[in-house]
C-alpha cells in the first residue's frame, strides 16, 4: 500500500466579516466544504487536528466531539500562525506510520466580528488585564505587537540598508492579487506612495505594512496516495516539511535579521530533495511586510541582506519569478488571527490549477512558510502535484 501523504480536500469558510458565524461554526463550515471537496464520507476520518487558543471552546477534543469525528489520532500543536505547517509535518509522519489513514485539520475564528480592527496592542495587554509568564517582563516597557515587528524592520534597515519603499513593494504586490479575489477585504489597488504615506503605526511600519483583521476559517484533508486513487481530485503530495523555534517572547530573540526558518527551511528542502530554485510560488505568512522579507532570506531564496533589492525588482509580483500570496495574503485578503491555514489552502489551489486569474503558470511546486509568535516558530511545508522521486 502506498502510504505517501497527500492532501485531497480543501475548504474555506466565509470571510472577511461574518457576524452570523462564531469561531466554532467557521471550523464546521470549512470542514463540511473540505469533506465534500475530497469526496469522502466523514466516517472515514480517523485523525483530527487543530490549533486552539480557546480551551474548552474549540480545542481538538471539544471540536472532535462537535464535528462527530471518532479519531484514533489527535494533535493540538499550537505554535501560533505556523501551527498548520507543523500539522502537515506531523500528519505526514503519522500517515506514513499508519497512526491514521485519513485526517481532517480545521481552523476557525470570528476575530473581526468580536473585536473589530485593532492595531498596535493586540497580544500583549489590555486595560485591567493581569499578565502572567515571561511576557510580564516586557509589558512594563510599553512594547506592542506591531512594535515587535518594527524592531525587525529597523534592525534589518540598519544592517543592510533595506528601505521602506522595498517593504512597501510587498504590500503593493500582494494587493495586486487581492484585486482578483472577490472575497478579499481590501481590493482597491495601491502604490508604494500609498503605503509610505499611510499612518505610521510603529516606526518604520505604516498602516499598509500591517495585516488586516478578519473572520474566517479553513480546513484540509490528508490521506494516503493509495486512498487518493479513488478520489475525484488530483492528489497534492507533501514533499517535505519541517519546523523550528528560536524564541517565543520577543525579548528572547537574539538576531533581529533572521528567523528559525534558517533551520526549518533547509530541513524541509532536504526532505523534499529540492532547492529554493525548484519552487514555482510561495505562500508566506504576511502579518507584516517585514515578515515576508525575513522569511525570504532565512528560507534561502536569497542571501541575507539581499531581500530588499530582490523584492524591489518585482520578483514577488504577479508575473514575477517567484509569485507570492496569490490569494491577496494577510495584508489584503484575510487574517483571522492564525493565517497559516490559508497558506496551505492557496498552495493546493495553485497546484491544482484552480486559481483562475491568479493562477501561476505551470505551477508544480509550492512552499508554505508559516510564522508563529513574533517570527518565533517557523513551519515550512513543500507541496507538489507530482509524486516524489
158 and 285 belong to one structural domain: yes
pTM of the model: 0.95
**Residue 199 placed within a domain:** yes
Q: Which residue has the higher pLDDT, 227 or 122?
A: 227
pLDDT of residue 128: 55
pLDDT of residue 278: 98
What is the C-alpha separation between 165 and 149, in angstroms, rounded? 17
Per-residue pLDDT of 312-328, as tens digits, reads 999 999 999 999 999 99
pLDDT of residue 114: 86
257 and 231 belong to one structural domain: no
Per-residue pLDDT of 58-74, as tens digits, reads 999 999 999 999 999 99
pLDDT of residue 119: 43
What residue has cell string 462564531? 22
Nearest residue to 269 via CA among 369, 196, 346, 165 = 369
**Residue 168 placed within a domain:** yes
Query: Confidence band (pLDDT; 50, 70, 90) for 280?
Result: very high
145 and 290 belong to one structural domain: yes
The CA angle 139-141-144, to the nearest 5 degrees, is 60
Residue 281 has pLDDT above 50, yes or no: yes
100 and 63 belong to one structural domain: yes
Residue 56 has pLDDT above 80, yes or no: no
Domain ranges, residue 11: 5-115+215-239
Give the CATH number, domain containing residue 57.
3.40.47.10
Q: List the grid coordinates of 354.
A: 484552480
Decide if 279 contacts 382 (C-beta within 8 A).
yes
Query: Confidence band (pLDDT; 50, 70, 90) for 129?
Result: low
Per-residue pLDDT of 333-389, as tens digits, reads 999 999 999 999 999 999 999 999 999 999 999 999 999 999 999 999 999 999 997
**Residue 51 placed within a domain:** yes
What is the C-alpha separation between 264 and 214, in angstroms, rounded? 29
Bridge pairing between strands 205-206 and 200-202 = antiparallel
CA atoms within 13 A on the CB side of 173: 28
Convert 74-101 to b/e letters by CB count within 10 Å (16 or more is b).
Answer: bbbbbbbbbbbbbbbbbbbebbeeebbb
Strands (E), 137-215: 200-202, 205-206
pLDDT of residue 117: 39
What is the C-alpha separation between 17 and 20, in angstroms, rounded? 9
Strand pairing partners for 320? none
**Residue 165 placed within a domain:** yes
206 and 96 belong to one structural domain: no
pLDDT of residue 143: 80
CA atoms within 13 A on the CB side of 13: 31
174 and 273 belong to one structural domain: yes
Strands (E), the chain: 5-12, 47-50, 73-75, 103-109, 200-202, 205-206, 216-224, 236-245, 281-284, 365-372, 377-384
226 and 247 belong to one structural domain: no
103 and 151 belong to one structural domain: no
Query: Confidence band (pLDDT; 50, 70, 90) for 147?
Result: very high
What's the mean per-residue pLDDT of the chain?
A: 94
56 and 185 belong to one structural domain: no
> What is the phi-psi region of residue 196: left when phi exceeds 0, alpha when psi lies from -120 to 50, beta otherwise?
alpha
- Of the residues 224, 239, 254, the one at which a domain ends: 239
**Residue 129 placed within a domain:** no
379 and 299 belong to one structural domain: yes
Per-residue pLDDT of 226-278, as tens digits, reads 999 999 999 999 999 999 999 999 989 999 999 999 999 999 999 999 999 99
User: Phi and psi (nearest 5°) for 242?
Assistant: -160, 160
**Residue 136 placed within a domain:** no
pLDDT of residue 120: 39
Decide if 344 contacts 221 (C-beta within 8 A).
no
Q: Is the peptide bond before 16 cis (omega within 30 degrees of 0)?
A: yes
Bridge pairing between strands 47-50 and 73-75 = parallel
269 and 374 belong to one structural domain: yes
The total number of structural domains that make up the chain: 2
**Residue 133 placed within a domain:** no
**Residue 127 placed within a domain:** no
Query: Confidence band (pLDDT; 50, 70, 90) for 54?
Result: confident
User: Phi and psi (nearest 5°) for 304?
Assistant: -65, 130
Q: Reading across the β-sheet that carries 5-12, which strands appear in turn?
A: 73-75, 47-50, 103-109, 216-224, 5-12, 236-245, 377-384, 365-372, 281-284
Nearest residue to 268 via CA among 113, 89, 135, 144 = 89
pLDDT of residue 133: 77
What is the C-alpha separation between 127 and 114, in angstroms, rounded? 17
Weakest-pLDDT range from 5-14, 107-116, 122-131, 156-165: 122-131
178 and 101 belong to one structural domain: no
Amino acid at each position: 500500500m502506498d502510504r505517501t501523504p497527500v492532501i485531497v480536500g480543501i475548504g474555506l469558510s466565509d470571510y472577511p466579516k461574518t457576524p452570523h458565524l462564531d469561531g466554532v461554526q467557521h471550523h464546521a463550515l470549512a470542514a463540511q466544504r473540505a469533506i465534500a471537496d475530497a469526496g469522502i464520507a466523514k466516517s472515514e476520518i480517523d485523525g483530527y487536528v487543530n490549533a486552539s487558543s480557546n480551551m474548552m471552546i474549540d480545542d481538538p477534543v471539544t471540536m472532535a466531539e462537535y464535528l462527530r469525528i471518532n479519531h484514533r489520532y489527535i494533535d493540538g500543536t499550537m505554535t501560533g500562525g505556523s501551527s498548520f505547517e507543523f500539522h502537515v509535518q506531523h500528519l505526514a509522519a503519522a500517515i506514513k506510520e499508519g497512526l491514521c489513514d485519513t485526517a481532517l485539520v480545521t481552523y476557525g475564528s470570528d476575530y473581526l466580528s468580536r473585536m473589530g480592527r485593532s492595531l498596535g496592542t493586540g497580544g500583549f495587554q489590555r486595560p485591567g488585564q493581569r499578565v502572567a509568564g515571561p511576557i510580564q517582563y516586557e509589558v512594563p516597557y510599553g512594547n506592542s505587537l506591531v512594535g515587535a515587528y518594527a524592531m525587525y524592520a529597523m534592525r534589518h534597515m540598519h544592517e543592510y540598508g533595506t528601505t521602506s519603499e522595498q517593504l512597501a513593494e510587498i504590500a503593493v504586490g500582494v494587493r495586486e492579487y487581492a484585486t482578483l479575489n472577490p472575497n478579499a477585504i481590501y481590493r482597491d489597488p495601491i502604490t508604494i506612495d500609498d503605503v509610505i504615506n499611510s499612518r505610521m503605526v510603529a516606526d518604520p511600519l505604516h498602516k499598509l505594512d500591517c495585516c488586516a483583521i478578519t473572520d474566517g476559517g479553513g480546513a484540509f484533508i490528508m490521506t494516503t496516495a493509495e486512498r487518493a486513487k479513488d478520489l475525484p481530485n488530483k492528489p497534492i503530495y507533501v514533499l517535505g516539511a519541517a519546523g523550528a523555534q528560536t524564541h517565543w517572547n520577543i525579548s528572547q530573540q537574539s538576531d533581529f535579521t533572521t528567523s528559525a526558518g534558517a533551520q526549518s527551511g533547509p530541513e524541509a528542502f532536504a526532505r523534499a530533495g529540492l532547492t529554493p530554485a525548484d519552487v514555482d510560488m510561495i505562500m508566506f505568512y504576511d502579518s507584516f511586510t517585514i515578515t515576508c522579507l525575513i522569511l525570504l532570506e532565512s528560507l534561502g531564496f536569497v542571501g541575507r541582506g539581499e531581500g530588499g533589492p530582490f523584492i524591489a525588482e518585482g520578483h514577488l509580483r504577479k508575473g514575477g519569478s517567484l509569485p507570492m500570496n496569490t490569494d491577496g495574503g494577510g495584508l489584503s485578503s484575510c487574517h483571522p488571527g492564525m493565517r497559516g491555514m490559508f497558506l496551505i489552502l492557496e498552495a493546493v489551489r495553485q497546484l491544482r490549477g484552480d486559481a483562475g486569474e491568479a493562477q501561476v503558470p505551470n505551477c508544480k511546486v509550492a512552499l508554505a512558510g508559516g510564522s508563529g509568535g513574533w517570527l518565533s516558530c517557523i513551519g515550512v511545508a513543500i507541496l507538489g502535484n507530482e509524486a516524489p522521486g
